[in-house]
Amino acid sequence: MSEYVFESLEKTLETHIPGAELKEIKRILYGKELRKLILPQTALDAALERDFDLQGYVFEAAPEQLRAPSAVRVGLIQNKIILPTDAPVLDQITALHKRVGEIVEVAAICGVNVVCFQETWTMPFAFCTREREPWTEFAESAEDGFTTHFCQELAKKYNMVVVSPILERDEIHGGTLWNTAVVVSNTGTVLGKSRKNHIPRVGDFNESTYYMEGNTGHQVFQTQFGKIAVNICYGRHHPLNWFMYSMNGAEIIFNPSATVGALSEPMWSVEARNAAIANHCFTCAINRVGVEYFKNEFTSGDGKKAHHDFGHFYGSSYVAAPDGSRSPGLSRTQDGLLVAELDLNLNRQIADKWNFKMTGRYDLYAEELTKAVQHAFKPNIVKE
């Protein structure tokens, strides 16, 4: 049960390791030390009162002659569900709207320009159950649903781009379900949507029961605050997914997720960060928090006894930069808002330094990959 009480890696390091060594440890684990963002006292007070972890960091870039700094503030929100999973569906959604709405209010005080919520943020992550009811009732229209309307109001009120990952009901294609992020412009317009490209079949992630691989490709959204893309959850394990968003021009790639400790925690700090490095862009990894209890027991295909929860969603949301630096993670156990000021000029500066796009030999890989997907592909193996 230790994972439930262990609050954060960073706090443990800071508590126990003396100054000079701590500096080196942090350099190796986190890259260059980030300046803390000075947040308004009203925001700090509100976070304390509303009981969520609030942290702020600045990712700086060098000054340039021809471009002004391009500072954008992103907000990453992680949270527990509010009501029991057997409460009425609309009550559960409304309670989450209220909770996330009050965190967004603090984000606005902190000057956040683009906020992103966790995967399927209006519901418990109930796909472990394989039950249809009541979970499919949480699905909404991306363009015209209750939750999208709520986000449009937030966007207009706070002049903020809102990335809202929901369970989508696609009425014009036979009422199919999708795992979809709706991107709402700061004007309140729905800019578009980005569907989850890779669907897991691992452990309790029975999502392939509910929806298929996304068909929206690798769209990038040009917002007033920069070009953003959304790589939902399991897509973070697929380097090509990050890559293709980057090739389409993404400066910031959000990764709204729902993942549990026993399964993925040692990978969490590796994957989004590797993507930021490999693609010369910022990545924002967001994970939900807490344990969600389901009335009907389910099994996990691992020979263990039937049980009522998915395990502990470990939060730890963070931002990674193209220079290999990253922010500390939010709490493993508590709701949180991570505010990060990103100077997007850093992307091109690091690209010009490291040149991965230039040295990437993509023509070679296009050719090799095209061959590799053929049924008759013969692996290139040398034998004695």
Helix (H) or strand (E) holding 213: none
What is the DSSP track for 155-167?
A: HHHHT-EEEEEEE
Neighbours of 377 (CB within 10 A): 11
Beta carbon nearer to its own copies, 124 or 328: 328
Nearer to its own copies, 78 or 185 (CB): 185
Tell me if 316 sits within 8 A of 328, measured CB to CB.
Answer: no
29 binds its own copies (CB under 8 A): yes
Amino acid at 235: G
Per CB under 8 A, the list member of 35, 40, 297, 365 interacting with its own copies is 365
Rounded Cα–Cα distance for residues 201 and 204 (Å): 8
Q: Which two tokens stand for residue 259?
A: 């993942």
119 is catalytic: yes
Residues 172, 303, 305, 384: which binds its own copies (CB under 8 A)?
A: 384
Q: Does 197 bind its own copies (CB under 8 A)?
A: yes
According to the binding rule CB under 8 A, does residue 376 interact with its own copies? no
Note whether 159 binds its own copies by CB under 8 A.
no
Is 375 a binding residue for its own copies by CB under 8 A? The answer is: no
* Sole window of 3-11, 52-60, 82-90, 91-99 interacting with its own copies (rule: CB under 8 A): 3-11
- Which parts of 328-357 interact with its own copies (CB under 8 A)? 353-356
Among 219, 300, 308, 348, interactor with its own copies by CB under 8 A: 219
| Angle, CA 310 vertex, CA 309 and CA 315 arms, to 5° | 120
Q: State which of positions 314-333 bind its own copies (CB under 8 A).
A: 324-325
Q: Which residues contact 381 (CB under 8 A, 6 or more apart)?
A: none
The binder of its own copies chosen from 35, 267, 296, 297 (CB under 8 A): 267
Distance from first CA to last CA of the chain, Å, rounded? 51
277 counts as binding its own copies under rule CB under 8 A: yes
Catalytic (active site) residue 64: no
Q: Catalytic: which of 196, 207, 281, 284?
A: 196
Closer residue to its own copies (CB): 46 or 162 = 162
Selection from 60, 31, 20, 5 nearest residue 328 by Cα: 31
Annotation marks residue 233 as catalytic: yes
Q: Which of 38, 30, 37 is nearest to 14 (CA)?
A: 30
Which residue numbers are catalytic?
A: 119, 196, 233
